[in-house]
């Protein structure tokens, strides 16, 4: 029986967690709390058990639902807003921050569509194994455990949003409904009309993201702790945020979970195709981070014949098929749509729901709608409306393409044709790239199918795409390996999968890591290379030599001989590698891989490639990377600004810095005119990592929506900046 839902209003250490099928903001009307009782997970200093007893004695009207002490120190509480607001004043409560909400959405195609390029999850299982007896935890939006293809696999779970033991997906009566977790679970272990990668694996579901895909750092960390407590073997996290740093709280928690013996698989994110776009917790050094592979498919493009330019489009969920039979004029409009009839309307992504934007254009007679992103990269949106479905195609394009079209329209009329391209197998454009700032790790570790994946959703099946869909392929593959080798350690399982991955030709390591997973080869491998992705970090000195100790494991009963190919001599780069060595039967050997760099002989930036290790007829590719002096990585990211919970007169902010910085300024600009308004804040002593603070509402000036320009002054005196949008409430 379902429990009554209580919508979580706040949590601690909130980071905007994005389901790795991309996101759009949820409206306040969609997430309205209809119950006076709310839930909160707080992080505490000291012993959580002692603090639990204290609260039970002195605050009996607040229920302590759970205590956390493995991955972080915290308590889960329930009560009304008035009583919970008193918790913030307790000395042992570290902080409480607001939650940003997102909607879990992605491109869907009807199962019977002629244009369907559906990929079936079971296709990668070329083994006799089914994951039987392996426990897989799915930390997500919950799952529809009544789905006929999942009912055999579902064992148990917990809801970290409502703090009960019912991890069902959000339904419409409770807020914006979700389907993401059910789709992820089906990829791993569907066992009915559709079969997942490991159809006999046991599924444990943890609802860390509520209506519209809302979640926070602590909800995710608490879900990780609960999964570890429940004894799962593998955890899948198809979520993330925009902070490209290794020391974010969720990344630290993931590493701790791995240390406790659980393999953690994480989606790399959908902010590609630029470098440095992988976000936490996929940045965790011990996680198995996954990028998305797109199989060959027929996809639509828009074509400007005058400029000979193609524009990639991502059709939105719930819109008509993008199949315009001739060229159409494009107009750039926002409110006045009087001349939209018979044209393609170009709109910018913003706070108005996609459906509302598109519906107004349709009512004005538009033949199609293009919505361009307001941040870098592509996104996937939804215009679904069962009561009044759209009859015109609606698609997303990148910010870069949208701004290019805007400039073209200022000069001349633009007519776009619809064309199609048969793509070859390769990395999906949306798949986030590495490396990770600060420690310069190569991410993703591997890639797996992540485009047009057919799986379970509440009430049926859908095709979705994103690194959210790639990660569960890897979680399922690990379940196969775990069944085949129940005595293997977490390191052996994940490193066997990495060692035997197949690199795609002409693709760099920061795009694909080790390459495409091959579960069958991983199960029967004779060799496991431990930590095979070699990051030598940042090289700053005139001449610098760095060595990584690589561990080679021989899994056979016979001695094996190995040899490295010596790379070609390159100006400024010298390798020292063991040419030939042996590893005894069923044992490991550590060998040094040494890199010497003369920095002035090389340009600044990322240097990457692959070293070749041979073992008889087997060839293994070890990706390597180093940064010469500096590179074009973002120096500031993850600026978050909003009202402090339980307060209407104080705001809180967070900003993550990746480099030593002298000073940070945040200035506000009018969002309509882009004219300078005023300075919001200054950080005079910024630290590498997370910087946090509070500002009284009285110091903020006029309320409204602003463009915020974050400018950092680096140690060398150079300036870098980026912009985002913030809201100051009346």
CA angle centred on 626, ends 623 and 631, rounded to 5°? 125
377 and 507 share one domain: no
581-638 tens-digit pLDDT: 999 999 999 999 999 999 999 999 999 999 999 998 899 999 999 999 999 999 998 8
Q: Are 154 and 142 within 8 A, CB to CB?
A: no
CA distances from 49 to 87, 92, 159, 231 (A): 16, 12, 21, 22
DSSP3 helix / strand / coil % (the chain, rounded to 5) = 20, 35, 45
- Can you tell me whether residue 254 is helix, strand or coil? helix
Separation between Cα atoms, residue 476 and residue 124, nearest integer Å: 10
Q: What is the pLDDT of residue 39?
A: 76
Q: Are 157 and 140 within 8 A, CB to CB?
A: no
Active site residue 173: no
177 and 32 share one domain: yes
Active site residue 35: no
44-71 tens-digit pLDDT: 899 999 999 999 999 999 999 888 888 8
Q: What is the pLDDT of residue 35?
A: 52
The chain-wide mean pLDDT, for the chain, equals 88
Number of domain units in the chain:
4
534-572 tens-digit pLDDT: 999 999 999 999 999 999 999 999 999 999 999 988 999
> Catalytic pick from 39, 140, 217, 304?
140
Q: How confident is the model at residue 453 (pLDDT cuts 50, 70, 90)?
A: very high
Of 447, 523, 514, 470, the closest CA to residue 492 belongs to 523
For the record, the structure tokens of 528 come out as: 């496991």
Please determine, for residue 299, whether its predicted confidence score (pLDDT) is greater than 90. Answer: no
Strand segments, DSSP code E, in 513-635 are 527-530, 534-539, 543-554, 560-564, 573-576, 581-583, 587-598, 605-615, 618-628
Q: What is the pLDDT of residue 219?
A: 87
Which CATH number do you get for residue 671? 2.60.40.10
50 and 131 share one domain: yes
Please determine, for residue 14, whether its predicted confidence score (pLDDT) is greater than 70. Answer: no
339 and 418 share one domain: yes
Q: How confident is the model at residue 665 (pLDDT cuts 50, 70, 90)?
A: very high
In DSSP notation, 333-394 reads -SS--TT-TTSEEEEE--SS-HHHHHHHHHHTT-SEEEEE-SSSS----B---SSS---S-E
Give me the helix-helix angle, 249-259 and 217-229, nearest 10°.
Answer: 10
571-580 tens-digit pLDDT: 999 999 998 9
For the record, the structure tokens of 88 come out as: 């913030």
442 and 315 share one domain: no
Compare 431 and 424 and report the one with higher pLDDT.
431
- Work out the average pLDDT over 633-651: 85
Give me the helix-helix angle, 180-189 and 467-484, nearest 10°.
Answer: 30
Overall residue count recorded for the chain in this entry:
730
203 and 100 share one domain: yes
Please determine, for residue 681, whether its predicted confidence score (pLDDT) is greater than 80. Answer: yes
Q: How confident is the model at residue 18 (pLDDT cuts 50, 70, 90)?
A: low
The last residue of a domain, from among 406, 422, 438: 422
Q: What is the pLDDT of residue 103?
A: 32
Give the whole-number percent of the chain exceeding pLDDT 90.
63
101-142 tens-digit pLDDT: 333 334 344 343 344 578 999 999 999 999 999 999 999 999
Alpha helices in 6-137 (DSSP H): 48-58, 81-84
Please determine, for residue 469, whether its predicted confidence score (pLDDT) is greater than 50. Answer: yes
Structural domain for 241, as ranges: 1-296+425-525
Q: What is the pTM of this model?
A: 0.82
CA distances from 496 to 137, 487, 523 (A): 21, 14, 8
β-partners of residue 265 are: 236, 288
The last residue of a domain, from among 486, 510, 525: 525
* Furthest C-alpha separation in the chain: 78
Separation between Cα atoms, residue 592 and residue 576, nearest integer Å: 8
308 and 411 share one domain: yes
Strand segments, DSSP code E, in 74-118 are 74-80
The last residue of a domain, from among 422, 454, 477: 422
Separation between Cα atoms, residue 61 and residue 343, nearest integer Å: 60
533 and 521 share one domain: no
378-387 tens-digit pLDDT: 777 778 787 8
382 and 262 share one domain: no
306 and 403 share one domain: yes
DSSP state of 212: G
- Work out the average pLDDT over 350-374: 92
Compare 716 and 196 and report the one with higher pLDDT.
196
> Catalytic pick from 147, 180, 473, 530?
180
Q: What is the pLDDT of residue 96?
A: 55
Q: Are 19 and 180 within 8 A, CB to CB?
A: yes
> Catalytic pick from 251, 382, 468, 535?
468
Please determine, for residue 349, whether its predicted confidence score (pLDDT) is greater than 50. Answer: yes
378 and 463 share one domain: no
432 and 581 share one domain: no
- Work out the average pLDDT over 230-255: 89
Active site residue 531: no
Which CATH number do you get for residue 329? 3.50.30.30
């Amino acid at each position: 029986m379902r429990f009554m839902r209580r919508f979580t209003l706040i949590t601690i250490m909130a980071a905007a967690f994005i389901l790795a099928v991309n996101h759009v903001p949820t409206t306040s009307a969609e997430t309205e709390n209809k119950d006076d009782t709310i839930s909160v997970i707080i992080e505490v200093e000291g012993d959580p058990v002692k603090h639990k007893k204290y609260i039970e004695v002195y605050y009996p009207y607040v229920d302590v639902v759970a205590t956390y002490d493995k991955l972080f120190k915290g308590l889960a509480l329930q009560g009304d807003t008035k009583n919970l607001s008193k918790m913030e004043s307790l000395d042992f409560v570290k902080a409480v921050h607001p939650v940003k909400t997102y909607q879990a959405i992605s491109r869907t195609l009807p199962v019977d569509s002629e244009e369907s390029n559906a990929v079936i999850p079971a296709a990668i299982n070329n083994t006799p194994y089914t994951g039987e007896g392996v426990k897989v935890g799915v930390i997500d939006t919950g799952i529809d455990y009544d789905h006929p293809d999942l009912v055999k696999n579902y064992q148990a779970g917990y809801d970290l949003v409502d703090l009960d033991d019912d991890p069902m997906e959000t339904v419409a009566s409770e807020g914006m409904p979700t389907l993401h977790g059910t789709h992820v679970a089906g990829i791993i272990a569907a066992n009915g009309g559709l079969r997942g990668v490991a159809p006999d694996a046991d599924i444990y579901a943890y609802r860390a993201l509520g209506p519209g895909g809302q979640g926070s750092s602590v909800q995710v960390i608490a879900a990780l702790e609960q999964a570890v407590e429940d004894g799962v073997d593998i955890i899948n996290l198809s979520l993330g945020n925009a902070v490209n740093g290794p020391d974010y709280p969720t990344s630290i928690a993931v590493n701790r979970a791995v240390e406790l013996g659980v393999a953690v698989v994480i989606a790399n994110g959908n902010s590609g195709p630029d470098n440095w776009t992988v976000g936490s917790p996929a940045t965790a050094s011990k996680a198995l981070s996954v990028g998305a592979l797109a199989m060959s498919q027929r996809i639509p493009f828009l074509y400007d014949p005058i400029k000979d330019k193609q524009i990639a489009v991502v059709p939105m969920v719930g819109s008509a098929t993008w199949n315009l039979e001739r060229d159409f004029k494009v107009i750039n409009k926002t409110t006045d749509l009087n001349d939209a009839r018979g044209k393609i309307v170009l709109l910018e992504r913003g706070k108005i729901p996609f459906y509302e934007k598109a519906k107004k254009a349709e009512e004005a007679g538009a033949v199609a709608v293009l919505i361009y992103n307001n941040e870098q990269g592509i996104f996937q949106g939804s215009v679904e409306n069962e009561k009044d479905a759209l009859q015109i195609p609606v698609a997303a394009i990148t910010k870069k393409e949208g701004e290019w079209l805007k400039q073209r329209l200022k000069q001349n009329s633009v007519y776009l044709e619809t064309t199609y391209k048969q793509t070859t197998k390769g990395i999906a454009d949306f798949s986030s790239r590495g490396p990770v700032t600060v420690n310069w790790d190569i991410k993703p570790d591997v890639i797996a199918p992540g485009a047009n994946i057919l799986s379970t959703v509440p009430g049926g099946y859908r095709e979705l795409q994103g690194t959210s869909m790639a990660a569960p392929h890897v979680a399922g593959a690990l379940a196969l390996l775990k069944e085949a080798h129940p005595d293997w350690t977490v390191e052996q399982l994940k490193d066997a999968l990495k060692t035997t991955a197949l690199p795609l030709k002409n693709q760099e390591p920061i795009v694909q890591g080790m390459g495409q997973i091959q579960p069958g080869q991983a199960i029967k491998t004779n060799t496991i290379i431990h930590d095979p992705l070699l990051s030598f970090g940042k090289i700053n000195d005139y001449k610098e030599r760095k060595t990584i100790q690589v561990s080679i494991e021989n899994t056979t009963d016979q001695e094996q001989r190995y040899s490295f190919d010596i790379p070609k001599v390159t100006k400024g780069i010298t390798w020292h590698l063991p040419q030939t060595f042996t590893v005894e039967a069923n044992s490991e050997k550590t060998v040094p891989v040494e890199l010497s760099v003369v920095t002035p002989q090389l340009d600044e930036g990322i240097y990457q490639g692959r070293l070749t290790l041979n073992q008889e007829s087997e060839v293994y590719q070890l990706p390597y990377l180093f940064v010469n002096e500096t590179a074009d990585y973002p120096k500031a990211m993850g600026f978050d600004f909003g009202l402090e919970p339980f307060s209407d007169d104080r705001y809180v902010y967070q900003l993550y810095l990746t480099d030593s910085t002298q000073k940070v300024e945040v200035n506000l600009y009018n969002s309509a005119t882009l004219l300078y308004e005023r300075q919001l804040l200054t950080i005079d002593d910024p630290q590498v990592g997370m910087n946090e603070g509070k500002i009284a509402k009285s110091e903020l000036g006029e309320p409204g929506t602003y463009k915020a320009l974050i400018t950092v002054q680096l140690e060398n005196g150079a300036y870098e900046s980026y912009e985002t949008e913030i809201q100051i409430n009346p």
